Structure 1
Amino acid sequence: MKAATLTILLLTLFSSHAMHRGRDYMRDKVCGEFKSLGKDKFRAGAIIASSRKYSNATFEEILNVVSEIVSIAEKCCPEGADPECYEKESLALSNRSCSDPSPFPKHSGIAGCCLAEGLERKLCLAALKHPAREIPVYVEPSFPEACNAFQNDPQGFQDRYLYEYSRDYSSAPLPVVAASAMNYVSMVAGCCQTGGNRFCFLSQKFLRRPLVMLTLMSNKMCAHYELLGKEKTKLGYIIKFAQKSPNANFQDVLALATDASEMVSRSCSDTFNSTFEAELSEHTTKICNTLSTKDERFRDCCKCCDSTNKMRAYFCIYSLQWTSSPPQLPDFQKPSDEDLCNENRTQAKEHYFFEIARRYTHAPEALFTAIYESSENIVSSCCSDSDPTACFALKRPKAREQIFDLLEKGNELCSQYTNLQFTEFKEKLRENYRKMIPNSAEDVVSGLVEQRSSFASTCCLLNAPPVYCGLKVKSGVSHTCSHDICLLH
């Protein structure tokens, strides 16, 4: 399915921005795609776009939406159709969304939208979107299961797969998700219609692996950007590069982090063409040119980096974990009060976190992010104070011990998780808790061990899920770090 197909569907059927361009624009675009694609491909695109937008909706709710969309196109797009048909039917659709009960996806914002009328109601409903799933949960069926389901009901199999796959990757660029989802459906159809050859299935799965990895990776990168925004996304890349390659210099890391954040800001909202892979390949070249001489692990990943294997090189770089032996680095100069309050304060803070990250190479990124967010509040408060110097003098000393205590603990926990077998890691936790709380009952200790090991197994990884780990870190930090303490020291 062409990327442009889903572009039109997304912009015209689900976007409030398209509605502002006028009803004739929307009708012409929808009808143009419906006529050029035909009903089946148009419907498939609607399932993908709807499932991405309403990732928490049931399968039946998505099919209800899709049925309405296709029905409007069938009724309003033929030659000679009433020019007012599209406007009337789309308005009726928004009204049915406000009925009680409604057969369409539920959303907490629907009640507010339904207080409005006409175009304002349609704009409000079009802007609604379910939160993206942070961790994919759908497991693709085995070869026999896929063939049995496809042969029993080809249309039902395709609909269900497009729904499940698209809702799992709703943060990835639309063209990437569409290409991967339709590629899988084509693979199953081709292999199962030729006698169900297992070798066909396995070989095609191997060939589609780069597309699967691109979808998974772009979904993570775009979800991170969607959650944190451009500035904190750049900070996240600074931390990742510093922890993976602590021998790199700040200006090189800053340039790469800036390039990465610019790339995702452009590509993640891409709906017209699939530029993500091309931009990622270009970014990979910059990484290899910059860091191959600083770190042999980057050099090994980049060896495969010819014109056809840039994506494989990036997969390798993306999968690198923390450096196993961080270098011994001298003390560094902390930012002054003036550095934090002048117009270049962003780079001063970025440099500060770079220096911390290359020294605490196993501390989870979510911990850095929590510290950064609290730091921003205090810096903003002191810089706007009538006496910034006195404000910082009062607050910065309080932060020193708490911040580095948190970093030490986070670094130690994740270092142990990384370097020990999981059973050894849990036993080490148990020993530590017994020393810390010697009079506690065994079930209390066991509960703490399970809680901490669960956090480590998910968040002691580079590229860990930011929402889940951020909430866990903030919950833990709140016990030891007050709102006034978590700031740059």
Structure 2
Amino acid sequence: MQQLKHAGFIFLLFFLIESLTLPTKPQDVDNINVSRKFIDENLASMAIITFAQYVQEATFDDMEMLIRDVMKYRDKCLEGKTLPECSQLANDMLQEMICSMEGLPQKYNFSHCCSKVDFKRRLCFLYNKKANVGFLPPFPTLDPEEKCEAIKNARDSFLNQYIYEVARRNSFVFAPTLLTVAARFEEVTKTCCEEQQKANCFQAKAIPITQYLKAFSSYQKYVCGALMKFGPKVLNSINIAVFSKKFPNIEFKELTSLLEDVSSMYHGCCAGDVLQCIRDQSQVMSHICSKQDSISSKIKECCEKKIPEREDCIINSNKDDRPMNVSPTEAKFTGSEHMCQERDTDPDDFFARFLYEYSRSHSDLSTPELLRIAGVYKDLLADCCDRETLTDCYHHMEIKFNVTTGKSLQMVQQECEHFQNLGQDGLKYHYFIKLTKIAPQLSTEELISLGNDMVTALITCCTLSDEFACVDDLADLVLGELCGINENRTINPAVDHCCTANFAFRRPCFESLKADKTYVPPPLSQDLSVFPADWCQSQNEELQGKKNRFLIEAVRLRPQLADKELLSVLARFISGVEKCCAVPEPEACFREERQNIG
């Protein structure tokens, strides 16, 4: 999990109907046939994912009703392709079916979406998705023996319910990621059901699946959040930096061609247009594999794999070595007399070329840092081009780049020092306090998740040789989670400003935030010194979870306290609980201890 990278997205209901409009070049036809075969084999699972992500509150029975309607519609339109109702886009028709289910829009509160049409309806369904799934019941768990019995006697139903439960809790995750999760889960059940110690087997083998889902989910939400909040130019910049670092041998013209497919893919995937998503995602991988010689020497084996293993393999392949002819500083961008003229001729192309050249020659930098450098360069050039004498101005550019990177490096070093000095629990408390002070409006579970993610990033990265890029990339994903995907998410003025002002500089912006000045703590009727009787029965993870929630609640109630004072409150409270849980009458003991808590 050093770097979280790209993932694809695959779904199609009515491929045969709409394939008449697809390109007909030989490689495109091959690509279509491969995609169609994969779709035919996974149609039911894909339909489940789509419905579960759109209507997260819906029951499994609701979902089964819709799937029956979808299959009837598909069979009808395969027989009569010219029927008027068969000319709609797949995603529009699916939303129409959801809206037509009796009582469903009212029951699950999306009638306002059904009253809209076309693009506005699509956008409404998208904005109706919820990343925070605290409203859903806990993920259902079965005894290992029950799991094995269920998959033995009713495999399809068991796996369908698993996909449904995972998809509704991960409403922004791309479908192929969820299909891969389901496939890996099925493999785990096959393996573990043959073992004597089934419970231990399931527990151990579930961890990599959870990590896979979390990693790909974070990156997908990060990129889609960038697109939806900042627009296609920022999305394009991210992809230029990522692909230039990963494939430094690629020529700019070839990169530009590839990015057209990549950008189209993300537009479709992030907007929920499942048909465009499968076309473009498959086209991206086909494009890369058809140009291996000019793109990468590390993906030959990947391109021989099937969907979706091919995509996963390419995503996780090693980056190529930097070509010998690539210079760390490109003179035509920092010392040419014609820079301003070239910039004015085609600004988008000019700055894209700069980011491409800088990224492929500085592959040790994080993606956010490369975007910061590009932003600094754009501002510096604007200043230089307004002056009569340009030479002196140009010479300062590399210095400015180094200063920008130095500030980011210092931020990472400080975070890794926290990791070294505080230990894992202390580091968690540090981030719980910090995040709660700047964003107390977030739910306790969100704050715990964000804090844990920051700790995971530092534990993962702070002992690596590429510590800087790893920390900066992963920490930026955490901020992506905090800021959310939808542009209508709001937390408080300071946080909202950092989330929307400048994508590349979100990290420095958040680093400078103090406690939210607009926040009004709840009345102290919620007394921190009230004895929690259930703590005496709690152990291990459950007990740690209670400590985490207590600390966050203490910050909400007393945000004016310094970090050390808040940790002292927590320590005194835990000490009081431990002492009193050891005596016959813990509540009476705690009443005596409460004055020590503060």
User: What is the TM-score normalised by the length of structure 2?
Assistant: 0.44
Residue aligned with 2:365, SS:
coil
Matches within 5 A, 1:62-73: 62-63=59-60, 65-66=62-63, 69=66
Cα displacement (A) at 1:70: 5.5
The yes-or-no answer on 1:150 pairing with 2:154 is no
Q: How many residues align?
A: 383
Partner of residue 255, structure 2: 257
How many Å separate the matches in 2 of 1:324 and 1:414?
Answer: 25
Residue aligned with 1:128, SS:
helix
Against the structure 1 CA distance between its residues 467 and 97, is the aligned structure 2 distance closer, same or farther, given a 3 Å change threshold? farther
Against the structure 1 CA distance between its residues 321 and 462, is the aligned structure 2 distance closer, same or farther, given a 3 Å change threshold? farther
Q: Which runs of 5+ in 1 are unaligned?
A: 13-36, 293-300, 431-442, 482-489
Residues 131 and 170, structure 2, Cα contact 8 Å, conserved in 1: yes
The yes-or-no answer on 1:427 pairing with 2:457 is no
Cα displacement (A) at 1:161: 0.9
Counterpart pick for 2:405 among 404, 407, 412: 407
Cα displacement (A) at 1:474: 1.0
How many Å separate the matches in 2 of 1:125 and 1:478?
Answer: 32
Partner of residue 51, structure 1: 52
How many Å separate the matches in 2 of 1:143 and 1:405?
Answer: 56
Counterpart pick for 2:356 among 339, 354, 357: 354
How many Å separate the matches in 1 of 2:413 and 2:232?
Answer: 29
The aligned amino acid for 2:261 is M
Cα displacement (A) at 1:124: 3.0
Residues 177 and 215, structure 1, Cα contact 8 Å, conserved in 2: no
How many Å separate the matches in 2 of 1:123 and 1:166?
Answer: 24
Matches within 5 A, 1:38-187: 46-54=47-55, 57-58=56-57, 61-63=58-60, 65-66=62-63, 69=66, 93=100, 96=103, 99=106, 102=107, 104=108, 110=110, 113=113, 116=115, 120=117, 124=121, 127-129=124-126, 130=128, 146-150=147-151, 157-167=158-168, 174=175, 176=176, 180=180, 183=183
Partner of residue 508, structure 2: 476
How many Å separate the matches in 2 of 1:179 and 1:222?
Answer: 17
How many Å separate the matches in 1 of 2:315 and 2:251?
Answer: 14
Per-residue CA deviations over 1:37-61 (Å, capped at 9, x if unaligned) read 9xxx98755422112335xx24xx2
Partner of residue 27, structure 1: none
Against the structure 1 CA distance between its residues 353 and 281, is the aligned structure 2 distance closer, same or farther, given a 3 Å change threshold? same
Partner of residue 197, structure 1: 194
Partner of residue 18, structure 1: none
Against the structure 1 CA distance between its residues 358 and 244, is the aligned structure 2 distance closer, same or farther, given a 3 Å change threshold? same
Residue aligned with 1:320, SS:
coil
Partner of residue 291, structure 2: 286
Residue aligned with 1:351, SS:
helix
How many Å separate the matches in 2 of 1:345 and 1:322?
Answer: 29
How many Å separate the matches in 2 of 1:220 and 1:230?
Answer: 17
The yes-or-no answer on 1:368 pairing with 2:361 is no
Partner of residue 238, structure 1: 240
The aligned amino acid for 1:197 is E
Partner of residue 224, structure 1: 223
Partner of residue 567, structure 2: none
Partner of residue 275, structure 2: 271
Per-residue CA deviations over 1:256-302 (Å, capped at 9, x if unaligned) read 5324423334555462866745641540453544454xxxxxxxx35
Residues 48 and 163, structure 2, Cα contact 8 Å, conserved in 1: yes
Partner of residue 487, structure 1: none
The aligned amino acid for 1:342 is D
Against the structure 1 CA distance between its residues 143 and 454, is the aligned structure 2 distance closer, same or farther, given a 3 Å change threshold? closer
Residues 337 and 389, structure 1, Cα contact 8 Å, conserved in 2: no
Residues 47 and 163, structure 1, Cα contact 8 Å, conserved in 2: yes
Against the structure 1 CA distance between its residues 462 and 447, is the aligned structure 2 distance closer, same or farther, given a 3 Å change threshold? closer
Residues 241 and 367, structure 2, Cα contact 8 Å, conserved in 1: yes
How many Å separate the matches in 1 of 2:316 and 2:275?
Answer: 24
Cα displacement (A) at 1:349: 1.0
Residue aligned with 1:7, SS:
coil
How many Å separate the matches in 2 of 1:346 and 1:215?
Answer: 34
How many Å separate the matches in 1 of 2:418 and 2:283?
Answer: 41
Residue aligned with 2:371, SS:
helix
How many Å separate the matches in 2 of 1:140 and 1:315?
Answer: 31
How many Å separate the matches in 2 of 1:162 and 1:225?
Answer: 22
How many Å separate the matches in 2 of 1:329 and 1:265?
Answer: 27
Per-residue CA deviations over 1:428-454 (Å, capped at 9, x if unaligned) read 899xxxxxxxxxxxx989988x99866
Q: Which runs of 5+ in 2 are unaligned?
A: 1-8, 19-39, 77-84, 86-92, 133-137, 269-273, 424-428, 435-450, 462-468, 484-497, 499-504, 514-598
The aligned amino acid for 2:470 is C
Cα displacement (A) at 1:239: 2.1
The aligned amino acid for 2:50 is A
Partner of residue 34, structure 1: none
How many Å separate the matches in 2 of 1:241 and 1:8?
Answer: 32
The aligned amino acid for 1:283 is I
Residues 457 and 475, structure 2, Cα contact 8 Å, conserved in 1: no
Partner of residue 7, structure 1: 13
Residues 339 and 348, structure 1, Cα contact 8 Å, conserved in 2: no
Cα displacement (A) at 1:314: 7.4
Residue aligned with 1:362, SS:
coil
User: What is the TM-score normalised by the length of structure 1?
Assistant: 0.52
How many Å separate the matches in 2 of 1:308 and 1:67?
Answer: 32
The aligned amino acid for 1:468 is V
Against the structure 1 CA distance between its residues 309 and 73, is the aligned structure 2 distance closer, same or farther, given a 3 Å change threshold? closer
Residues 60 and 161, structure 2, Cα contact 8 Å, conserved in 1: no
How many Å separate the matches in 2 of 1:285 and 1:121?
Answer: 35
